[in-house]
Amino acid sequence: MARPSKYQPAFCGQVRKLCKLGATDIEVADFLGVNVATLYRWKNDHPPFCEALKEGKTEADARVVDSLYHRAVGYSFDSEKVQVLRDGAVVRVPIREHVPPDTTACIFWLKNRQAADWRDKQEHEHRFGTTSEMSDEELAAIVRRSRERTPPPKGDPPVTH
């Protein structure tokens, strides 16, 4: 006879809130006092529990996406500067602060949203399958173009043919 499960339907609300705050599956399992394998089993056995985890994580991810976007394009916010006058009086002065766009956030955003245009790795089309399929003239032309693009190393005499 198997031991009764510790699972309770009330866990759904708790895990939704935890995941909304950024908790991982391991942290949720720790909070509930179970092994992470048990958490995975509950995800399979209890669809509302699985859905609560997904919903909480989706909300947390959306906040991160929003924050990354604002870092990439820059943003302004209202704040205040606290000044202490010579007579000891405290004065709060409302100000508007501006956070400029962050280059790293821009690059990250573009590499993920427009990968074809912004990825580091460029794909090149090859016209020939193997060099054995090329004529001697085609091979010579490739070598010639390569030498034209690559200057000889300093200190070495130029290669002549």
Per-residue pLDDT of the chain in tens (161 residues, 90 and over written 9): 677 889 999 999 999 999 999 999 999 999 999 999 999 999 999 999 999 999 999 999 999 999 999 999 999 999 999 999 999 999 999 999 999 999 999 998 888 888 888 887 766 666 656 666 777 888 788 778 777 776 666 665 555 55
Entry pTM: 0.60
The predicted structure's pLDDT at residue 125: 61
Residue 65 shares a structural domain with residue 20: yes
Residue 69 shares a structural domain with residue 15: yes
* Dist. CA 33–CA 19, nearest whole Å: 16
The predicted structure's pLDDT at residue 133: 74
The predicted structure's pLDDT at residue 157: 58
Q: How many Cβ atoms are within 10 Å of 15's Cβ, its own excluded?
A: 26
Maximum CA extent, the chain: 91
The predicted structure's pLDDT at residue 81: 95
Residue 32 lies in a domain: yes
Residue 128 lies in a domain: no
Residue 69 shares a structural domain with residue 79: no
The predicted structure's pLDDT at residue 15: 96
The predicted structure's pLDDT at residue 95: 96
Q: 3-class SS at 133?
A: helix
For the chain, what is the domain count? 2
The predicted structure's pLDDT at residue 39: 95
Residue 34 lies in a domain: yes
Residue 23 lies in a domain: yes
Residue 38 shares a structural domain with residue 91: no
Residue 159 lies in a domain: no
What are the residues whose beta carbons fall under 8 Å from the beta carbon of 105, sequence distance 6 or more? 68, 71, 72
Residue 86 lies in a domain: yes
Final residue before a domain boundary, out of 73, 96, 127:
73
Residue 4 lies in a domain: no
Residue 47 lies in a domain: yes
Q: Domain range spanning residue 24?
A: 11-73
